[in-house]
A = this chain, B = another copy of it.
């Protein structure tokens, strides 16, 4: 008998939102109209060679690693080529870390709610997931200290900046405290950071990885470049890099040589910062359109996050409502969202829901929110 695991309700839901008339706030996709198709086409053409079609080192393309290291350093996270492992999307980084660090039965501490596919990784590894309380400033360090004392977790998983699904950002003060806790207790921390470059207001907050040697930092080309290339990277301490490389070998030998080579050509030939500025301008408008529409969309007493960046707004409806029961009515009205319960490892708050503002124009957002109002109000 195969082992039994639960599927991703988000991906199952996405299948239902494929009808073109549906305005979907359900996905976590970047807007394809902002992809630099011409730049990437040129990059693939230049990168294609006998070398880029051949097997390659497990650690990843040296040019790409150097470019990523340089980029991270300029963003305040000093990084050497040897600190980086190229992964098949940052999703793979999570699986590699879990395989490298966790024995079955190990305890993983997470924010609640948190990124669904990370929870799936931990569940597949046979880990026990323990939630840590958080609020609008992210995870509460006192609650983490308590969980460390009580549960002895091996690993803490965080999306500290513009979290999925809440859009919240962990404050610098709390980052310092959490880094200190990790150091003091020998806790490994995974900082999953696909969104931090998508900042629409305020100043960047230093990466957790810049505050402690216990932090493994996962980055991605998916939100600033193109997710179809499945390119991510893991910045990890030397003490565990060797194990991670062995696990990566067994997982897929190495990430696509041609996609890595194309990304390296692209990063050399283009100003990604400028491209990201354009993305931010586009997404900022869309976030603003969604936030502006919310008061007339939701019932009185609804709370929502107003994210400084990223892709998501998180809603908590008033009263004893289950948003999963509202999804089918929403789909009948050609609008979609993700019920919040999926993002909880333990006891879900069923009155929550996630809205993504990235893939619809401001006009489509306004129309989608009007449709949603007929379901929610």
Contacts and interface: CB of A to CB of B under 8 A. Distances in A.
A85 to B, nearest CB: 13
Interface string A17-28: 000000000010
A354 B299 CA distance: 71
Majority secondary structure, A binding face? helix
Given A100-B2, A230-B256, A243-B2, A53 B37 contact: yes
B48 A250 contact: no
Contacts of A124: 99, 247, 250
Contacts of A297: none
Nearest to A251: B95
Interface stretch (A38-46, A270-278, A308-316, A344-352): A38-46
A29 interface: yes
Interface in A7-33: 7-8, 11, 27, 29-30, 32-33
Interface stretch (A86-94, A285-293, A361-369): A86-94
A255 interface: yes
Given A44-B258, A91-B253, 16 more contacts: A3-B102, A3-B103, A4-B243, A7-B242, A8-B246, A29-B54, A32-B51, A35-B53, A41-B45, A88-B251, A117-B253, A120-B250, A121-B250, A228-B258, A230-B252, A230-B256
Interface of A: 2-8, 11, 27, 29-30, 32-33, 35, 37, 40-41, 44-45, 48-56, 58, 87-89, 91-92, 94-95, 99-104, 117, 120-121, 124, 126, 222, 226-230, 239-240, 242-247, 249-259
